[in-house]
Amino acid sequence: MNQDTRAKIIRTFVQNKAALAGLVISMVVVLTCAAAPFLPLPDPVDQSLSQRFKAPSATHPLGTDNFGRDVLSRVIWGGRVSMLVGVLSVLLAMTLGTVIGLVTGYKGGVIDNLTMRMVDVLMCFPTLILGILFMAALGSGITSLIIAIGIAIAPRFARLCRGAVLSVRQNDFVEAARSMGMSDMRIMFRHILPNVLGDVIVMGALWVGAIIITEASLSFIGLGVPPPTPSWGRMVREGLDFMGHAYWVSVYSGGAIFITVVGFNLFGDGLRDILDPKLRR
Amino acid sequence: MLAYTIRRILMAIPTLWVALTMIFILVRVIPGDPTTAVMGDYVTDKSLEVLKRQMGLDLPLIEQYGLYLYNFVRGDFGNSLITGAPVLKELKNALPHTLELTFFSLLIGTLTGIPLGVFLALKRNSAWDYLGRFFSLAGISFPSFYIAVLLILLFSMKLDLLPVMGVGPAGDTWARMRHLVLPALTLGLLMMSYLTRMTRSTMLDVLGADYIRTAHAKGLRKAKVIFKHALKNASVSIVTVLGIYTGILIGSSVMTEIIFNRPGLGSLIVGSMLNRDYITITSIMTVYAAIVIFINLITDLSYGLIDPRIRYE
Which residues are CB-neighbours of A257 under 8 A, at least 6 positions away? A82, A212, A213, A216, A232, A233, A236, B143, B146
Query: What integer is the mean pLDDT of B283-308?
Result: 82
pTM above 0.90, yes or no: no
- Cβ–Cβ below 8 Å for A213 and B258: no
pLDDT of residue B276 exceeding 80? no
pLDDT one-digit tens code per residue, B224-258: 788 877 888 788 778 878 887 887 788 788 888 88
Number of H helices, E strands in chain A: 11, 0
Peptide bond into A228 cis (omega under 30): yes
Give the mean pLDDT of chain B: 81
Query: Which long-range contacts does A45-54 make (Cβ < 8 Å, 24+ apart)?
Result: A45/A69, A45/A228, A45/A229, A45/A230, A46/A70, A53/A242, A53/A245, A53/A246
3-state SS assignment for residue B44: coil
Chain A residues with CB under 8 Å of a chain B CB are: 117-118, 120-122, 124-129, 132-133, 136-137, 139, 209, 213, 216-217, 220-223, 233, 236, 239-240, 243-244, 247, 250-251, 254-255, 257-258, 261-262, 265-266, 269, 279, 281
Please give the distance of CA A47 from its chain centroid, rounded to a whole number.
31
- Chain A nearest-CA distance from B309, in A, is 24
If one compares A154 and B310, the residue with the highest pLDDT of the two is A154
Whether B38 has a pLDDT exceeding 70, the answer reads no
**For A81-85, A162-166, B42-46, B274-278, which range has the lowest pLDDT when averaged over its residues?**
B42-46
pLDDT at site B108: 93
pLDDT of residue A59: 72
Contacts of B21 (CB under 8 A, 6+ apart): B65
- What percent of chain B has a predicted confidence (pLDDT) above 90? 5
State how far residue A215 is from chain B, nearest Cα, in angstroms: 10
As a whole number of angstroms, the distance between CA B119 and CA B105 comes to: 21
Contact A281 B124 (CB under 8 A): yes
Please give the pLDDT value at position B279.
80
ipTM: 0.80
| pLDDT for res A150 | 92
8 Å CB contact of B146 and A281: no
**Position B111 confidence tier, pLDDT thresholds 50, 70, 90:** very high
Splitting chain A (281 residues) into consecutive groups of 10 residues, what average pLDDT does each group show? Answer: 68 76 90 83 73 72 72 83 90 93 86 83 82 80 88 89 85 85 84 84 87 89 81 86 80 90 89 64 39
Mean pLDDT of B122-151: 86
Task: Answer whether residue B41 shows pLDDT above 70.
Answer: no
**Looking at residues B124-143, what average pLDDT do you find?**
86
pLDDT on residue A1: 55
Any idea what the Cα angle at residue A228 is, between residues A224 and A229, rounded to 5°?
60
Q: Which residue of B has its CA nearest to A127?
A: B251
**Interface with chain A: mutation pick from B18, B144, B146, highest number of A CBs within 10 Å:** B146
pLDDT at B43: 63
| Contacts with B258 (C-beta within 8 Å, 6 or more apart), sequence order | A220, A221, B145, B266, B267, B270
The pLDDT-based confidence of B22 (bands split at 50, 70, 90) is confident
pLDDT at A281: 39
Residue B303 pLDDT class (50, 70, 90 cuts): confident
Q: What is the DSSP letter of A55?
A: P
Contact status, residue B109 vs residue B195, Cβ threshold 8 Å: yes
